[in-house]
Amino acid sequence: MKTRIAVLISGSGSNMQSLAHACRGADFPAKVELVISNNPKAKGIGIADAMGLKTCVINHREFEQRKEFEQQLDIKLRNNRIELVCLAGFMRVLSPFFVQKWQGRLLNIHPSLLPKFRGLNTHEQALKAKEKIHGCTVHEVVNELDSGPILGQAEVPVLPEDTPASLAQRVLAAEHKLYPQVLREFCANL
Ligand code: GAR
């Protein structure tokens, strides 16, 4: 039986697309059952629709409290019998209220080699620190931001002529390979 996953996005959704593409493989141990965006304008929602995936928008702006937003998220996931949640460019911080409900079944991809460069603007941070190697990490989500057990990492070189944008592009290409690999392994061991 394939693990029923939901992918949570906020923007362009390219990692969601790479996960959904991998999940189409007959021997891949997971299936994307739902794509949720907190942002009604996310480009990724259109991509998911075009791929024939079930989509839904839960706009965080419509809730006064973070907890109410997270409650709706949780209800949606449970109603769809989701077993594992993959954050893929989901740009809302999830509070302990949600994280505790899904702990051990909540993965994230982050555009740096954690524990280096938590938070935002990781490519700027890497360039500023004059790193020669940069990359991305898939990890389990815990209460502390961009922490939690590391499940896999991919490295890319930092080139002398790199800008944040060129580096982001190279890292993103590595993310698209890493996330499906880690997901496959994680589900195989569930
Ligand atoms: C990716 O680089 C992802 O690692 C990053 O946002 C981008 C989303 O791209 N996530 C974070 O920074 C989370 N803190 P995508 O929407 O095309 O997958």
Predicted pLDDT of residue 65? 96
- Here the tokens at position 65 are 């409290």
Top mutation candidate among 15, 110, 117 for ligand 1, by most atoms within 8 Å of CB: 15
Nearest to 168 by CA among 126, 107, 108: 126
The pLDDT assigned to 79 comes to: 98
Pick the catalytic residue from 110, 123, 134, 176.
110
Q: What is the mean pLDDT of residues 93-122?
A: 98
Q: pLDDT at position 70, please?
A: 98
Residue type, 131: E
The DSSP call for residue 123 is H
pLDDT class for 44, splitting at 50, 70, 90? Answer: very high
* pLDDT tier, 36 (very low <50, low <70, confident <90, very high otherwise): very high
- The structure's pTM equals 0.98
Q: Please tell me the predicted confidence (pLDDT) of residue 25.
A: 97
Beta-carbon contacts of residue 173 (< 8 Å; ≥ 6 apart): 156
Domains of the chain: 3-188 (3.40.50.170)
d(CA 123, CA 38): 24
Predicted local confidence at residue 140, as pLDDT: 98
Q: What is the pLDDT of residues 145-165, one digit of tens each?
A: 999 999 999 999 999 999 999
Give the pLDDT score at 114.
98
The counts of H helices and E strands in the chain are 6, 7
Catalytic residue flag (residue 110): yes
Reported as a pLDDT band with limits 50, 70 and 90, residue 135 is very high
- Minimum-distance ligand 1 atom for the alpha carbon of 88: 18
Token pair belonging to 170: 């190279």
pLDDT of residue 50: 98
Give yes or no for residue 111 CB within 6 A of ligand 1. Answer: yes
pLDDT for 51 = 98
Instruction: Give pLDDT tens digits for 50-104.
Output: 999 999 999 999 999 999 999 999 999 999 999 999 999 999 999 999 999 999 9
Any atom of ligand 1 within 6 Å of the Cβ of 89: yes
Average pLDDT, the chain: 98
**What pLDDT is recorded for position 57?**
98
**Residue percentage of the chain with pLDDT more than 70:** 100
User: To test ligand 1's pocket by mutation, which of 175, 176, 183 has the most ligand atoms within 8 angstroms of CB?
Assistant: 175
Give pLDDT, residue 145: 95
Residue with tokens 């944040």: 164
